[in-house]
Amino acid sequence: MSNHRPALRVLIIALFLLGGGGTTSLASAQADPVVSQAAVRVVGSVRWPPDPCTSASGDVVTLSGTLLVHTQVSVPGAIAPWTIRVGTTLTDANGTGLTGMRYQATGAVELLQAQAPTAPFLMAFQGVFDLVPPGVCSRGAVRVTGSLRFNPDGRLNLAPCADEGTVFICTHLGFETFPLE
């Protein structure tokens, strides 16, 4: 019997070393963030305040564009909070006001948030971007608001919205009037 024990011990050590020490590979897999990327369409109307450069009565601008969303979610375990990094870039966001003037919204926003591990979950999103009127007029601002929904594994969920009254339980983003006055 004593002849089998050294062989068994060598086998256990070899499996331990090949398996990365038992928990090392599991710990490193949990440490890698879950990355998602998406292009989310944003639409809405915003109010441009009265301005001698554009219109004495102001303007209502209907904008549409794309918000490029890049997320990194660190999922450390069942108890510790998730760390969520969100980077966004507003692209091709153009619109025409009731006055006929063309506007462009542009910019980038980064957010960092810790979230309790209740998944799937919604993260409130609010980003302020530049609103640029034509010519040499002064810039304004436009806000994109909504929510980002994440799956239990930390990936961004882009499933179609299910409207539950006034609450969207999905990734839902849109332009919102930002008070410029």
Averaged pLDDT for residues 107-136: 82
The 10s digit of each residue's pLDDT in 140-164 is 888 888 888 888 788 888 876 665 5
pLDDT bin (cut points 50, 70, 90) of residue 178 is very low
46: CB partners within 8 A, 6+ apart: 60, 61, 63, 131, 142, 175, 176, 177, 178
Instruction: Give the pLDDT confidence score for residue 107 in this predicted structure.
Output: 94
Phi-psi region of 83 (alpha: psi -120 to 50; beta: other; left: phi over 0): beta
Instruction: Give the pLDDT confidence score for residue 25 in this predicted structure.
Output: 30
The 10s digit of each residue's pLDDT in 57-107 is 888 889 999 999 999 988 776 667 788 899 999 999 999 998 898 999 999
137: CB partners within 8 A, 6+ apart: 51, 53, 54
Instruction: Give the pLDDT confidence score for residue 66 in this predicted structure.
Output: 92
Instruction: Give the pLDDT confidence score for residue 56 in this predicted structure.
Output: 77
Are the beta carbons of 93 and 109 closer than 8 angstroms? no
Domain map (residue ranges) of the chain: 1-32, 33-176
Residue 180 reports pLDDT greater than 70: no
- Residue 40: count of CB within 10 angstroms of its CB: 20
3-state class (DSSP) for residue 137: coil
Q: Please tell me which residue, 132 or 181, carries the higher pLDDT value.
A: 132
Residue 113 reports pLDDT greater than 60: yes
Instruction: Give the pLDDT confidence score for residue 95 in this predicted structure.
Output: 94
Averaged pLDDT for residues 115-140: 79
The 10s digit of each residue's pLDDT in 26-61 is 333 355 888 999 998 888 888 888 877 767 788 888
